[in-house]
Structure 1
């Protein structure tokens, strides 16, 4: 894979470049900050970017978001000294394919990185478990908040929601409840807004999960 290295420390960049090339990984370029990374990416079209998190200007997470928005196929792996849960989760939300630490043993680092070609997300030991735990914690918090909001639904909204879960269309719900179709759509929109969801699919999925 053609690889672009992004780090604000010149010595780190040079050492990492030699290390990767010695292990058969093609390094096509380096960048010292987010702006340089965007420029180098546009010119070099790498398959993989090893991205530091803490940099002046655009940090690694912001740069990752911008690249992944336009080129979702590109693999971005965060390479950093930071292993706090907030940075880890923010990186994954930004679209990073993995999260490696500068303190890792060289053999482990290369093994994790080369596993990316086989579709295995590279994570420093223990970080994948922590990421899943954090996702679970946030989902539980969101569910608790939605549970509280669900208690605020009107009786009519509950009726509409139950029929949505059964798989009825807006028109079928309107006929069943003797409402206008536009009224049904209004109730659905209100429920989505109240429960801080994005669309009808999420609303149905949440209601189905809660039974």
Structure 2
């Protein structure tokens, strides 16, 4: 069985130790590195290239949003899952706009951590309802008005890439897009990486916002 390679960034030593212990109880997960400092975390993550990072927002050096931005610029294929509290809604919102794939509340149970990681690795987004509502409202606010010019494909996407983008804008996960389009999830991820490169973005959130702004896709 191929194990998902995880990197954990948490500045509280005991919580970091507990997280590593929890992750170690799942045979499908492998912790390949840890860090307690934002700046060092960026360098370690870029070097180790884990599949997913569990990232605290409050860190010495660089905070979690800055870490997310820097990692997604240098290693866009790495998924980032934020660890935070309910009080950090605005910061979480900003982190997801920067390229994170969602967030978990600190001190959640082991199974919740496991299912959150699985959801992200399948192309989903882990969001509490209040954050999901913010994104829905935000997407609606940036959507081009029907009377505006609607460029068909300003980024030179292939027909298949454009179709993937349209489904992502509808809120489908990578796995769901694969089912609808009859392709493997990793093929969907490959299409998304090409879409990001052509559009000059680092995440599906950025891609959807850009497409909505010019009226290329609808919600």
TM-score interval, normalised by the smaller of the two chains: 0.5 to 0.7
Instruction: Give 1:18 deviation, angstroms.
Output: 0.6
Aligned counterpart, 2:61? 57
TM-score by length of 1: 0.62
- 1:131-150 correspondence runs (5 A): 131-136=134-139, 139-140=140-141
Instruction: Give 1:105 deviation, angstroms.
Output: 3.1
| Partner Cα separation in structure 2 for residue 53 and residue 76 of structure 1 | 11
Instruction: Give 1:107 deviation, angstroms.
Output: 2.1
Instruction: Give 1:70 deviation, angstroms.
Output: 1.8
Instruction: Give 1:134 deviation, angstroms.
Output: 4.5
Aligned counterpart, 1:130? 133
1:68 equivalenced with 2:75 (yes/no): no
Greater share of residues in helix: 1
Aligned counterpart, 1:31? 35
| Partner Cα separation in structure 1 for residue 151 and residue 38 of structure 2 | 48
Greater relative CO, 1 or 2 (CA 8 Å, sep 6+): 2
Q: 1:41 aligns with which of 30, 39, 45?
A: 45
Question: What per-residue deviation string (whole Å, max 9, x for no partner) do you get for residues 32-63 of structure 1?
Answer: 01111022113322111111001122101101
Instruction: Give 1:99 deviation, angstroms.
Output: 0.9
| Partner Cα separation in structure 1 for residue 57 and residue 24 of structure 2 | 22
Aligned counterpart, 2:13? 10
| Partner Cα separation in structure 2 for residue 132 and residue 204 of structure 1 | 18
| Partner Cα separation in structure 1 for residue 214 and residue 16 of structure 2 | 48
Using a 3 Å threshold, how does the CA distance of structure 1 residues 16 and 76 change in structure 2: closer, same or farther?
A: same
* Structure 2, unpaired ranges of 5+: 153-210
| Partner Cα separation in structure 2 for residue 166 and residue 21 of structure 1 | 49
1:94 equivalenced with 2:104 (yes/no): no
Using a 3 Å threshold, how does the CA distance of structure 1 residues 133 and 35 change in structure 2: closer, same or farther?
A: same
Question: What per-residue deviation string (whole Å, max 9, x for no partner) do you get for residues 138-165 of structure 1?
Answer: x53x68xx99xxxxxxxxxxxxx98x66
- Number of residue pairs matched by the alignment: 155
Aligned counterpart, 2:170? none
Using a 3 Å threshold, how does the CA distance of structure 1 residues 132 and 10 change in structure 2: closer, same or farther?
A: same
Using a 3 Å threshold, how does the CA distance of structure 1 residues 133 and 40 change in structure 2: closer, same or farther?
A: same
Aligned counterpart, 1:118? 122
SS of the residue aligned with 2:108? coil
| Partner Cα separation in structure 1 for residue 46 and residue 151 of structure 2 | 48
Instruction: Give 1:86 deviation, angstroms.
Output: 1.0
1:205 equivalenced with 2:215 (yes/no): yes
Query: Which entry has the higher C-alpha Rg, 1 or 2?
Result: 1
* RMSD of aligned residue pairs (Cα, Å): 3.1
TM-score by length of 2: 0.60
Instruction: Give 1:135 deviation, angstroms.
Output: 1.9
- 8 Å CA contact retained: 1:89, 1:134: no
